[in-house]
Amino acid sequence: LMAQNTAEASTEGAVELPAAPSDDDTPHASKTNFVFFFPPSFDLSPSIRPMQQTRGMATEKQLFTQMQSTKNIQKITSSMKMVSAAKLKGDENRLAVAKPFNVWTTPLCGEPISMEDATYDDLPQKTLLVPITSDKGLCGGVNSFISRGVKEAVRKMQESGQECDIVVIGDKGRGQLRRIHGDIIKRSATEIQSPGTFTLAAALSAELVAAGAADYDAVVIMYNTYVNAAVYKQAYKVIKPFSGEGEDEPMMAYEFEPDTKAEIMVDLYEYLLTSQLFHSFMDGAASEQSSRMAAMENASKNAGEMIESLSLQYNRARQARITTELIEIISGASALEG
């Protein structure tokens, strides 16, 4: 800070303040100008700069608290893994029962088609997509794979000029799809009871019929198919309604008594939807439990590695504290002796 009695002083980085008014009204009264010198890099803008926070070393208490939290998380993930393993056994048994029950639909609908590298060229002009997902998370990529497949199918169908709508089964699938394709989601079914039953599949089939499934050229069920405890894949089934005349009339080789074929075809179509949904639901449930078991196993393993790393840091911090305390004691004793 430097005070001068002249108003002509100017230096780089200087700021001159106006002179204070004098109490003397005479024309010869002196006035004092104050000139402040700042370095050229000094910022005089009125903006407030945020304070830089420096991150220090974690204390022993913080490390111990984090270790205990990680151990609790490891206990939870290990328990969830064991629960999923027990549920997987039941889902495998139910899937084994559902497979032979659904064999009769193969001649009518064909084999399931893998979603990997699928072009969806076999789908008709107007299609109703039915992705089957779960209501709960922490199960790996079970729901993400199905949602990704639905998005890819919608994109390819729209590029080729085809129409499609969506009926979502499961809260996770609804949450992932409504952000992008919320305008074409007609209905959604959430909070589905587990384990699934044929009655549940019949209720879902009734929802599809209420959504106008018969007005579409095909209903496409997209689901996870269970291979083994470590592998599951994504597939879709194409279910077309029993409609047509002349050469396209369904089941020409069969005779119907009494002559109410149209009503029988409607009932058979709804029963076909129920059977396919039941099988797909059982397949998806087994895939979900196998994926959750693998995810919880990986989480438990990662938690164990984190606990080992935190234990090493905690022991180092504790050793450093003890060493510092010993040095202070020895230094104090030496000072007293001296």
Name the band, by pLDDT with cuts 50, 70 and 90, for residue 230. Answer: confident
The more confident residue out of 305 and 334 is: 305
Taking 60 as the threshold, does the pLDDT of residue 58 lie above it? yes
Q: What number is the average pLDDT over the span 168-181?
A: 91
- Judge contact between 289 and 89, C-beta under 8 A: no
Name the band, by pLDDT with cuts 50, 70 and 90, for residue 77. Answer: very high
Would you give the distance in Å from CA 260 to the centre of its chain?
Answer: 49
Distance CA 323, CA 317 (A): 10
Distance CA 198, CA 279 (A): 9
The sheet that has 14-17: what strands, in order across it? 2-4, 33-37, 14-17
Q: What is the pLDDT of residues 126-146, one digit of tens each?
A: 999 999 999 988 898 899 999
How many angstroms separate the Cα of 133 from the Cα of each of 101, 177, 181? Answer: 22, 11, 16
Taking 50 as the threshold, does the pLDDT of residue 125 lie above it? yes
In terms of DSSP bridges, do strands 14-17 and 2-4 run parallel, antiparallel, or are they unpaired? unpaired
Q: What is the pLDDT of residues 274-290, one digit of tens each?
A: 999 999 999 999 999 99
Q: What is the pLDDT of residue 253?
A: 73
Distance CA 283, CA 285 (A): 6
314: CB partners within 8 A, 6+ apart: 60, 63, 64, 67
The more confident residue out of 28 and 221 is: 221
Nearest to 288 by CA among 143, 176, 104: 143
Lowest average pLDDT, out of 117-121, 142-146, 255-259, 267-271, goes to 255-259
Q: What is the pLDDT of residue 84?
A: 93
Name the band, by pLDDT with cuts 50, 70 and 90, for residue 247. Answer: low
Nearest to 186 by CA among 235, 145, 234, 129: 129
Looking at residue 318, what DSSP letter applies? Answer: H
Q: What is the pLDDT of residue 195?
A: 79
Q: What is the pLDDT of residue 88?
A: 93
Name the band, by pLDDT with cuts 50, 70 and 90, for residue 75. Answer: very high
Which residues share a beta bridge with 2? 35
Q: What number is the average pLDDT over the span 237-260?
A: 75
Q: How many residues does the chain have?
A: 338
Phi, psi of 43 (to 5 degrees): -95, 120
Q: Which amino acid is at 115?
A: M
3-state secondary structure of 88: helix
Distance CA 266, CA 271 (A): 9
Q: What is the pLDDT of residue 73?
A: 95
Q: What is the mean pLDDT of the chain?
A: 82
Lowest average pLDDT, out of 5-14, 96-105, 176-185, 225-234, goes to 5-14
Lowest average pLDDT, out of 98-102, 198-202, 247-251, goes to 247-251
Nearest to 225 by CA among 102, 77, 84, 137: 102
Name the band, by pLDDT with cuts 50, 70 and 90, for residue 259. Answer: low
